[in-house]
Amino acid sequence: MHIAVTRHGSVTVVAPHGRIDQDTAPMLDAALSEAEGDNGHVLVDLKAVPYASSMGLRSIVACFKILRADGRRIALCALTDLVAEVFDIAGMTRVLRVFPDRAEAIAYLTTSEMTATAAAPVSAGPAVDSSDAAPSANAHAPTLRMIFWGTRGSIPKALGAQDVRAKVRAALEAALRAGLGPTDDLDAFLETRLPFHLRGTYGGESSCVQVDTGHAEHMLFDLGSGVRRFALDALSRHGSSTPQTYNIFLSHLHWDHIMGFPFFVPAFIPGNRIRILGCHEQLEFALRRQQEQPCFPVDFSVFKADIDFRVLTPGVPVEVAGATVTPFRQLHDGDSYGYRVDRGGRAVVYSTDSEHKMADHAEVERFVRRLTGAHTVVFDAMYSLADSFSLKEDWGHSSNVIGVDLCRMADVSRLVLFHHEPIHDDATLGRILDQTRRYEEINRGGARPLEVVTAHDGLVLDI
């Protein structure tokens, strides 16, 4: 790739020629830094760019932030169809002004009066069916199985009355359009004619994921509100008189990831053993503290199970429930830790509450090494790429687009979008899944496809 930098009055035009990806993004960084030094506005002409990854988008957003702080502006022009689609998927068109050609962009930048900086978002169309709720067909028992009991981030989210009404209305409209009669198979209509966001819900419980290794002991990741449903399911299968061992790994100690423990029924049953593992020294302190007055009426001492705490060392694997579990540090306020689970030549990675500074190549390479060889990666995709690079930078979360890029670098088979933003309703999550799959398709090149699914409460995935 080469980049032409020219001056047009008070506007510096940066015109890359070629793909903008991890290898060439530093060249764009350098060109934009040069343009920033000209003390004028900046126009990025993308006419000769056939493809742009999240690294290129990050460079442009970084320039936008610097110019905005200085009272200057940036615009884009002449995006090819694929690049325009990537920018829309990433939410960039809500942040940056995009023009069809250089002349219109320069006219905007040189006008004396500031205009709105956000273009109207383009409708992504109806979401595709994303249920993936049943275990994948497999004649043999899976090496690993993941069961999602809670998938929301920050706070649990209830499905409100207006949400239900909107679903019912949309389903009835679809039935009318289909000419559904009284003798037609309703279940078949629901499964084949309605997208998942209408016939189901992504759910509202906060983070809790089970990894079933086929061992007698249980393995869980995080104690969000979803752990209550896991506990009820476990009790329905094993009963309260058969002692069980629960190994629970905590990513970090923020409330949405530990709030379910006061409602974890096995902790009240004598004979059960509960091991709580994590890399924070304050594991026991945090769980006891949340049950102290005046925050909670039931003291930690009411638990009758044998509960012990084990502080892990990042990078040092432990053997649990017939698998090897390796923790690794992530970028999040107060630190967060992801976990890689290896068993029988298969691996899954649980990585939530993690921000990725894509300009930090050493850190990106370290994270990719953690993913390499894994089949399935559960990934924090709470924000759009534009938000993660701008308004919500340093908030400790990531985006769907970065998830695709990192999993592609690591040659992962399946990406699971996780830790959903509470303000996103089911239709929005379905649309984000659509857009992510499209970005993966654009990004794929000659590589094998990366399967992309959106986690929902009750989702079961075999590995």
Higher model confidence: residue 408 or residue 193? 408
> pLDDT by residue (tens digit) across 164-175?
999 999 999 999
How far apart (Å, rounded) are the C-alpha atoms in residues 18 and 145? Answer: 42
> pLDDT by residue (tens digit) across 342-370?
999 999 999 999 998 888 889 999 999 99
How far apart (Å, rounded) are the C-alpha atoms in residues 460 and 270? Answer: 30
Among 3.10.180.10, 3.30.379.10, 3.60.15.10, 3.40.50.300, what is the CATH number of 145-159+201-462?
3.60.15.10
Q: Is 127's pLDDT higher than 60?
A: no
Long-range contacts of the stretch 422-427 (C-beta < 8 A, 24+) = 422/152, 422/153, 422/154, 422/155, 422/156, 422/157, 425/163, 426/163, 426/167, 426/196, 426/197, 426/198, 426/200, 426/201, 426/202, 427/127, 427/197
Rg (CA), the chain: 24
Structural tokens at position 214? 């086929």
Residue 416 identity? V
How far apart (Å, rounded) are the C-alpha atoms in residues 363 and 210? Answer: 28
Mean predicted confidence (pLDDT) in 96-115? 80
How far apart (Å, rounded) are the C-alpha atoms in residues 52 and 79? Answer: 10
Q: With 0.75 as the threshold, say if the pTM is over it.
A: yes
Q: Is 443's pLDDT higher than 60?
A: yes
Percent of the chain clearing pLDDT 70 (strictly above): 93
Q: Is 189's pLDDT higher than 60?
A: yes
pLDDT score, position 131: 39
pLDDT score, position 129: 37
Q: How far is CA 46 from CA 36, 81, 221, 258, 320, in A?
A: 18, 11, 43, 46, 51
> pLDDT by residue (tens digit) across 81-94?
999 999 988 888 87
The residues of the chain that CATH labels 3.30.750.24 are: 2-110
Residue 319 identity? E
The residues of the chain that CATH labels 3.60.15.10 are: 145-159+201-462
- Phi and psi at residue 400, in whole multiples of 5°? -60, -40
pLDDT score, position 33: 92
DSSP letter, residue 383: B
Fold of 2-110: Transcription Regulator spoIIAA (3.30.750)
Q: How far is CA 109 from CA 58, 103, 112, in A?
A: 21, 10, 8
Peptide bond into 182 cis (omega under 30): no
